[in-house]
Amino acid sequence: MKSFTILIAILTLTACATGSNPDAKKANARKATSEALTEIYTDHPAARSAVARGKGYLVCTGSDSYLFAASTGGGICTFHTGSKVDYYRFASLGAGVGIGFKKVAFLYVFQTNAAMKRFVDDSWDAGARAEASARHKDEGGQAAANASYDVDGVRIYQSAIWGAAAQATVQGYKFWRTDFTDDVIEHNE
């Protein structure tokens, strides 16, 4: 069980931002998060105006897996403040009940400078999530609990891109800034 969880975590962290060098990884991260943002805008039309009014935003894409009492996940993010883009990786770990695997996208719109500073300084997010979702990339519509909510100056939007899962978990997310020079695994393209 422990080996399986570690394997899922490694696969999750290598799922995005592939490339043979840091510039290629940055380009692929921008492409993946841009596609994720398009998906979020489709599922949550109000997100577009929230981004336009916000102080900055973080858009992430990756995957979550749920196996009985544990959940793991991870992926990449782009953090936009004005014309500046920074790159982040994220990992998640949770406890609760669940089974399944899904590709996810989420957007944090920072409505205040204080909320943005908190993210940069702390880089943590935790919360309870309960949902059932099913979506296939090539099929329109989904049965999912796509959500949007406000948490202390941050507007959060999330979408399931594909996969199927049912879970009730308390999940924590850790974000860390990267320039992809010391990335976990190098991929050649």
Query: Residue 69: CA atoms inside 13 Å, Cβ hemisphere, count?
Result: 2
pLDDT digit string (tens) for 103-118? 778 899 999 999 999 8
pLDDT digit string (tens) for 97-153? 666 666 778 899 999 999 999 888 887 765 544 444 444 454 444 444 455 555 778
State which amino acid sits at residue 3.
S
Separation between Cα atoms, residue 78 and residue 28, nearest integer Å = 11
pLDDT digit string (tens) for 30-56? 999 999 999 999 989 999 999 999 999
Residue 163, Ramachandran bin (φ over 0: left; ψ between -120 and 50: alpha; else beta) = left
pTM exceeds 0.85: no
Separation between Cα atoms, residue 39 and residue 159, nearest integer Å = 7
